[in-house]
Structure 1
């Protein structure tokens, strides 16, 4: 009996049962599952020739591309663990991540800023075209009936890193069983059709993009890779290609709406929106132009989705993050450990087969209690219909003058102001208030550009017309202690590669401005 990695079996099965079905579309290149299988086997053989054995680790650091997809499939087929890292990460970030998770090989794109002095072997991503394949290893990847194979499901398939918005990123190992359970639960919530084509315009190195790749493989459906993730390219693909599924972050939804106010004719049947606080007003506007958006709440530790709004849910539920997927349990707990009543906010805890077994960081606290519940670090409530509403991350809660402030609540109110294109709420330490509520904003007359390193200037004077307008806007919608005390002007909000606001970075930069 042959022991094979489960990712190899997934691809073997898809190629055997659906050889002519499209597996990947990337620009002008289209690969059927039979063609994908051939290319991946070749690259897996080349990895074997480079000394990559089952249970080793391979880091992949490159922009989204067909080569990235082929390399990732080859790593998984070889039985190694895929460690995807962001190509825009700094050299210091990469050094930290590779110290936490040592790897046997780094495959990198042309523009990656690798740290100096790495002991790990490094190879260009393009080298998979040229390395001499190890034919003996390659033979083990030939298709064979499932009955003759023993499949490993508990081995670590991928290791992802949390965004690091609040400190050192955590290394999250996910097994094939975690990934498969997540894919099946998502298919139950969204449905799964033979002609499904999922457009990937999120970074493949993050859970949202990687989940798209792995789910299409498990379902034997088509992944279309967006060569450019700007909103004009996304809209063009949606209106010219038979795209049925799509995942977006809230920033992309906001920008799509800024560029398109009239209905878009698409083949979409579901658009997952997650990865950060979602503006329900944006979701309603997206529905109005024909985008079937479904707010979703997830995290890397849960292999993507935890909750997603059901397709048949009423429109008023767009304010929520939906309901837990099949197999996932969710509860809200109070500080004394008791279960919150409907409408009562508390700590969001989850339990189920999609959850990682724990962080790889040596200093990481245990993730689970004795009953297997994982505290997510987020605060929210369940309504009487069991829809989940996200308030904020517990670590992002601001306490000013003894009052608890949810930064996302303040952001939602300010986003309604026509003079603001982008903003973020953060806090600075204050001797009297403990923390002082602050707002960094991008005026609407300026385009939203990639994040810069510092706010340009403070605009905290009472006679500033914009500040006066913003404060007046807040007075009728927020309690006085939730109105920012200091305001900073910037040409862009610093964010992680996954578009989460770097509030700690904003605080550092705002402190410099005040010096």
Structure 2
């Protein structure tokens, strides 16, 4: 149904639909039909359909799709290549899948400069040992990872091969503590900010930041502009912006373009200081507990840092989330794969760092935390299980 070829004709008017081949057949076909319907209705040409992370969708079939023009993908790739000083001498290692904007972005960047791409998944899945072996064997120079993958490298105390000169890290919050541990092992990690809607990163730390020890600022790339609206949300204007959304809803197939005068308003609150982005959290992360406001993303960051300092393997076995409460409106719960004793140790230290209303009020002990292919917690599915 969908081509598995990793090479797209980046200059043709043909449309491409890139979906996760491991999705249930019925859901896969519904999303394929959605993209086909919308591109015909909107008369799209030269576009690539990619799914958003789906971490909040209640079902796979309800995953939001993004239409990116091939021109947008090329504009993004050109800007990233310029930022990383990428040339034909570089060897990219690819562990983000072809149907994810991060994986596809690597292919487009390499194509523009004639660089080589080395696939580094093992049987189409992330395996930190296989990845590390590939880096050394192929003398890879560049890569793009999500924080979960960096976490795995740190947990196994792998030291960066001398050939590696830059790794763009995006797709989630890159904790300061994790950044420091990765740098201590020599990994040339560059925090970044981007999304499927912008065809990958629009802001990334510089190569020069690798010469310093502190967590770097994340500066805008040449193809993007960012401003803050009156409500504190970041708005993006870029030559890599998406064309439209598409989604299966209870009312049927829906497509829409949320941009206003070429500006896309994100769900992220933040500010721009001297050309650098400072992300404060997503709108959905701001909740009220008994009338007191707090940011769930900040609390998750505190929990992860606390667990990481206690045992490098613990953060991946914990998930903090807000749950509805008749009395308080919302309250903080914790999901754990750890033993009761270890969980209580983490909760005790976490509690000392937060305000009383931000403390954990309930703990669930389960066997598995549902995650996406990139290691992101599937919050919608997790909430259903609880």
Q: Give the TM-score of the pair, scaled to structure 1.
A: 0.65
Q: Distance in 2 between matches of 1:293 and 1:274?
A: 10
Give SS of 2:208's match. Answer: coil
Asked if 1:411 is matched to 2:345, the reply is no
- How far has the Cα of 1:87 moved from its partner? 2.0
Give the match for residue 109 of structure 1: none
Q: Determine which structure has greater relative contact order: mean sequence separation of CA pairs < 8 Å that are 6+ residues apart, divided by chain length.
A: 2
* Runs ≥4 residues deviating over 6 A: none
Asked if 1:59 is matched to 2:2, the reply is yes
CA contact (8 A) 1:273 1:293 kept: yes
Give the match for residue 19 of structure 2: 85
Equivalent residue for 1:236, pick from 133, 146, 158: 133
Moved more, 233-242 or 474-483: 474-483
Deviations 1:62-110, CA, capped at 9 Å, x for gaps: xxxxxx3xx242666875322111122123431331231128xxxxxxx
Give the match for residue 177 of structure 2: 281
- How far has the Cα of 1:278 moved from its partner? 1.2
Q: Distance in 1 between matches of 2:34 and 2:293?
A: 34
- How far has the Cα of 1:289 moved from its partner? 1.1
Asked if 1:355 is matched to 2:246, the reply is no
Q: Distance in 2 between matches of 1:199 and 1:467?
A: 36
Equivalent residue for 2:195, pick from 293, 296, 299: 299
CA contact (8 A) 2:6 2:98 kept: no
- How far has the Cα of 1:365 moved from its partner? 5.1
CA contact (8 A) 2:17 2:32 kept: no
CA contact (8 A) 1:75 1:82 kept: no
CA contact (8 A) 1:243 1:266 kept: no
Q: Report the count of equivalent residues.
A: 361
- How far has the Cα of 1:390 moved from its partner? 2.4
Asked if 1:162 is matched to 2:57, the reply is no
Give the match for residue 224 of structure 2: 328
Deviations 1:188-247, CA, capped at 9 Å, x for gaps: 211122210100011111001111112111221111111413111111122232211011
Q: Distance in 2 between matches of 1:365 and 1:485?
A: 40
Q: Which runs of 5+ in 1 are unaligned?
A: 1-57, 61-67, 104-153, 336-345, 446-463, 511-515
CA contact (8 A) 1:421 1:442 kept: no
Deviations 1:390-435, CA, capped at 9 Å, x for gaps: 2332234333223333222222222222252422222222111112
Give SS of 1:318's match. Answer: coil
Q: Distance in 1 between matches of 2:235 and 2:11?
A: 34
- How far has the Cα of 1:173 moved from its partner? 1.3
Summarize the Cα distance change of 1:389–1:244 in structure 2 as closer, same or farther, 3 Å threshold.
same
Q: Distance in 2 between matches of 1:471 and 1:305?
A: 34
Structure showing greater radius of gyration is 1
Q: Distance in 1 between matches of 2:353 and 2:70?
A: 47
Q: Distance in 1 between matches of 2:319 and 2:82?
A: 35
Summarize the Cα distance change of 1:442–1:264 in structure 2 as closer, same or farther, 3 Å threshold.
same
CA contact (8 A) 1:251 1:499 kept: yes
What RMSD over aligned residues (CA atoms) do the two structures have, in Å?
A: 2.4
